[in-house]
Chains A and B, each alone.
Chain A
Amino acid sequence: MSLQVRLNIPRKDFTINVSLSVTPGQVTSVFGPSGCGKTSLMRAIAGLENRATGQIRMADEVWQSQDYFRPAHQRDIGYVFQDASLFPHLNVFDNLQFGLRRQARDKRRVSLEQAIELLALSPLLRRSVDTLSGGEKQRVAIARAVATSPSVLLFDEPLAAVDIAHKQEILRYIQSLHRELDIPMLYVSHAIDEVARLSDNLVLLEKGQQLASGKTADLLSQLSLPFANYEEAAAVLDTTVIGRDEFYGLNQLSFAGGQIEVSHGHLKPGDKVRLRIMARDVSLTLTHHENSSILNIFPAVIESMVNEGPTQKLVRLNAGGQIILSRITAKSADKLGLRPGMPVFAQVKAISPLV
């Protein structure tokens, strides 16, 4: 049940040219600045953009080809719009039922109860949608889309209209959907932290052109891509919880390059946890300092480095197959004589678990 998309969408100043696929159980993110064509792409997949040409296939169904265009209401999608708009004339419960009632009985795999539970909506069911907060509206919109048991879920900047306080909450709900339901997801955003947190695969879009695509962790750590230039350049690590140091309240996680300890809440052994390590939080030493306050120190090999202006360098490290980025001053790099191929120790000062 994978979604295959190859589309050309003419726009005023450029043409969007994208080819991607979304596989079951995976979140694919389309990332790019505002106006790069992300929303048009999503609309085209949903069948809302009639100028789009190309091919869209969902499993063995053709949704669009040279001589065929399946209208939006016959495409098996769940679409979560940017502004969380709900039907103003229906209450929360009736909004949730709207799509479900129109889905063929034999295609219903997600029950209404399940959708309500996944998004924790039971206290809101009788409310009028006018009285909901931005975050609550978006939860209803997500549940409404999920309740139709779609073959693919499309999220078009779902956090754009949600205040910062509730962004994390909504992201957690989306993650739980990803865990509980086997529905492939396509997530569009211009916020790198959302993308880093949610997605398995990443498509980088700029002015309608696909600059790169691949595994999220790989793309985020490539020095040749614009991600590396961001202030919040970071590497993504997929880890497994192996234990807990009860005395100090630390979770022990293992990844390809060794073990790591983080103090984030109470994680259960066996949990998969994605971590994000900011390049600015990683410093380098030539020898392993036992007498350091920093807990997480790994041996790594320098793969490559690039200059960031006259004063800074970004270093790409390989720790047992796991890529880590480090941003250091040019002065330190020269003092240590850093060059590709050199073994070093990466000292990680801060880690944000993305759970």
Chain B
Amino acid sequence: MHPDLTALLITLKLAAITTLILLVIGTPLAWWLARSQWRFKFMIETVIALPLVLPPTVLGFYLLIMLGPNGPIGGLAEAVGGRPLAFTFTGLVIGSVFYSLPFVVQPLQNVFTAIGDNVMEQAATLRASPLDRFFNVMVPIARPGFLTAAVLGFAHTIGEFGVVLMIGGNIPGETKVVSIAIYDHVESLEYSQAHLLSGGLLLLSFLMLMAVYGLNRRFSVLRS
């Protein structure tokens, strides 16, 4: 297979797995942030928002230390018989989860806050248990939020470069993603390949975001 195609597949796989993990852990986290009255909640919100402002290399540097053989997570992985996580696809997934966390949690938190308690209370008085009302009332009403969260998480993971550079390295077929491949092509002055990949990524990102904005306009069920 063409190495650029391999890079593209790895990128898409990384983005898909990351998005899935983020939806699973981001949903309860966002729900808690939207509902909790805890006074130090803002500290958690700050931590989640950090990847928005931090240079990816800083995040990547700390992840490298954590995931490396001497770091707590990498060491743990080694201790249970695995290999250190730095420079592996798994390490890339862990890094991407941190990197894209705010892009999934924030839209979900916003939509949960906007929907408010009222519909959930209605459902409770209509005999729906907490899980029943979350999945059958909150999730369908919050659909635009989930869509936004999933697409932003996916698109942002596709666009990551600095973090991958720090913790993923450049192993073809394992950690070499499209953004790194573009960088490599430019380094070796292969502009035509760089054009192809860049244009492809641009088009993909554009289409995904357009789908979100278009669909969210159609699901106008979300009212204040």
Contacts and interface: CB of A to CB of B under 8 A. Distances in A.
A18 interface: no
Interface in A66-87: 71-75, 77-79, 81, 83, 85-87
Contacts of A346: none
Given A73-B128, A73-B129, A102-B132, A89 B221 contact: yes
A72 B121 contact: yes
Nearest to B142: A89
A282 B119 CA distance: 47
B28 interface: no
Interface residues of A, number: 26
B223 A78 contact: no
The 6 closest A-B CB pairs, nearest first, are A99-B126, A102-B127, A79-B125, A72-B124, A89-B140, A88-B221
Interface string B125-153: 11111101100010011010000000000
A77 B125 contact: yes
Instruction: Point out which of B125, B128, B137, B222 has the most chain A C-beta atoms below 10 A from its C-beta.
Output: B125
B94 interface: no
Interface string B201-224: 000000000000000000001110
Contacts, number: 67
Interface string A203-238: 000000000000000000000000000000000000
A88 B124 contact: no
30 contacts: A46-B124, A48-B121, A48-B124, A48-B125, A71-B124, A72-B124, A72-B125, A73-B124, A73-B125, A73-B128, A74-B127, A77-B125, A78-B125, A79-B125, A81-B118, A83-B118, A85-B118, A87-B119, A87-B141, A88-B221, A88-B223, A89-B137, A89-B143, A98-B126, A98-B128, A99-B126, A102-B127, A102-B128, A145-B125, A148-B126
A37 interface: no
Q: Identify whether the interface residues of B are mostly helix, strand, loop, or mixed.
A: helix
Contacts of B119: 85, 87-88
A85 B118 CA distance: 8
A234 B1 CA distance: 89
B181 to A, nearest CB: 42
A103 interface: yes
